[in-house]
Structure 1
């Protein structure tokens, strides 16, 4: 996650002749990692959807048909804005903008073509990181969502909350993500310490 974001921010693999440097997409990539939203939801966001303390995910744009519609689950949802997201928005919010302006527009002002981005930008960047040993294997941009969900579960956030944030079901979270969290340990309740500190002997029966 850190290696991918850094490569975009610093134009590590961006050609000096590229019409659009990789850093142009850095905020978009960070947003995917920090929210776990679907790419078609991210490219559909308008500034009117960014409220003071939360994001309103209510629309999606499928690149193949270029039609704006409701989210995949047909249910709008809210996502809380933390300090990291505030920094992202602060860096890209224009001084003068309309509420209907896109948050992550393509260079021409329309929605980002996620297929072109995947093949022409994301894939070359990640493959270069693999060659340098900074990333283990290739995964598409959609896996930013999987990364976010996994990190939330590893941090102990309940499946119900993660499902609400990401617009999915607890069943999907439990079936596809919870089983991959291998390092979770049985919690300690401090009972053993209390018992060992006691000087009282239990008489034999």
Structure 2
């Protein structure tokens, strides 16, 4: 979030013209700040700040003023104590009073919140989902663009009236509840730091009754770069949040059936993913950790695999593991054979488990081969659905396995089967917990449960 300190030989904030008015263009080192202020990602594009009535291209005095303004803003942003000097309301620079004056307190909250949550969570929720709801923007699938809903509260005072207007937003009710919670936290944060004084929190005790609506389960949402994620993709893209506590698992026989089905598939992308699926079942690592795995993380000579990072689909980048720890996983004979065969076939590729085209796997690509997808098309005004089931979906429909479970359950399957096979060995359970980034208490409580065959000794 912080602007980088850098000695400048010339001002890097340049002046341009747009529709007859002057505007400032900021260098990329200032992008994180503007992304927080605007509530959206720039995705590599420059940030433009229109000067509006403060700068006309045909007025020489406005050019001089714009140059001085650019130099002043850059000096503030690149100063070691830029947070004290830079005014996020822009009033200091004579161009305040607009939307940035309303977001000054939120900026401080975002700077703090970014240090408390995962980068993927911050980008997906705080910079995109909550911001769009507050600005009253909703994605239109037909036009593939955002449209205004009439529920924009971003420029309104933070009071009960604007808070209650949020309740009328035409969004998924659960998303509105999450947004209200974030605003409540932001307001409390502003009060505790002294940024907000003599005002009551309008979001506290603001309740929204969330009624279970079966249709909402099948609604789409917006993913990275404005792409539409349909319900069957969302089901697994949320897996790390929802499936972490759902510890259902496949039986050993079902595990083997699934792995074999991937290897024997007549679809190239499914066969290509077969080693990845087998690896997930053999290690219990989280899918993102396998997506990010590189050959530099495999130590054949020492007999270990290093799990130090995870690929996050929402930010299209690697991040630290969920527990922020580096785990060393012992290479078993089965894993050694699997990795050796992969290495022989793709010695020039750095990723251990690339897709067919060499790209990194993601939750959406993983869901496609595992669950499948449904295409919706309109022909002569009629809507048609075309189903393309994935490997596990096909196995369920064919009666070869008992139930559908999301890809994340490869982890629960490994931990459950291994824990039960070693339940009488405390040292083995400790090793399992360490290897999977868990604790013995969690394994005993959630994966082993209690043994129904054991009887209490009468006292």
- Report the TM-score range of the alignment, normalised by the length of the smaller protein: 0.7 to 0.9
Where 2:441 maps in the other structure, the secondary structure is: helix
Answering whether residue 398 of structure 2 is matched by residue 132 of structure 1, we say: yes
Q: Find the structure with the greater CA-based Rg.
A: 2
Q: Could you tell me how far apart the structure 1 residues matched to 2:283 and 2:356 are?
A: 23
Is contact 1:41-1:57 (8 Å) kept?
yes
Tell me the alpha carbon deviations over residues 107-155 of structure 1, each in whole angstroms, 9 at most, x when there is no partner: 222211222221x210121121112221111101100000000111111
> What's the offset of the Cα at 1:184?
6.4
Answering whether residue 390 of structure 2 is matched by residue 141 of structure 1, we say: no
> What's the offset of the Cα at 1:172?
2.2
Count, aligned residues: 177
Is contact 2:288-2:362 (8 Å) kept?
no
| Residue number in structure 2 paired with 1:166 | 436
> What's the offset of the Cα at 1:96?
7.0
Name which structure has the greater RCO, CA cutoff 8 Å, separation 6+.
1
Q: Structure 1 residues 125 and 182 mapped into 2: Cα distance closer, same or farther (>3 Å)? A: farther
Q: Structure 1 residues 62 and 96 mapped into 2: Cα distance closer, same or farther (>3 Å)? A: closer
Is contact 2:311-2:362 (8 Å) kept?
no
| Residue number in structure 1 paired with 2:308 | 58
Is contact 1:160-1:170 (8 Å) kept?
yes
Gapped regions of structure 1 (runs ≥ 5): 187-205
Q: Could you tell me how far apart the structure 1 residues matched to 2:417 and 2:453 are?
A: 12
Q: Structure 1 residues 184 and 162 mapped into 2: Cα distance closer, same or farther (>3 Å)? A: farther
Where 2:404 maps in the other structure, the secondary structure is: coil
Where 2:360 maps in the other structure, the secondary structure is: coil
Gapped regions of structure 2 (runs ≥ 5): 1-254, 372-389
TM-score normalised by structure 2 residue count: 0.37
RMSD: 2.0
Q: Could you tell me how far apart the structure 2 residues matched to 1:137 and 1:46 are?
A: 32
> What's the offset of the Cα at 1:92?
0.9
| Residue number in structure 1 paired with 2:272 | 24
Q: Structure 1 residues 108 and 21 mapped into 2: Cα distance closer, same or farther (>3 Å)? A: closer
| Residue number in structure 2 paired with 1:67 | 317
Where 2:273 maps in the other structure, the secondary structure is: helix
Q: Could you tell me how far apart the structure 1 residues matched to 2:325 and 2:305 are?
A: 14
TM-score normalised by structure 1 residue count: 0.79
Q: Structure 1 residues 108 and 96 mapped into 2: Cα distance closer, same or farther (>3 Å)? A: closer
Structure 1 residue corresponding to 2:328, chosen from 71, 78, 82: 78
Structure 1 or 2: larger strand share? 2
Answering whether residue 441 of structure 2 is matched by residue 178 of structure 1, we say: no
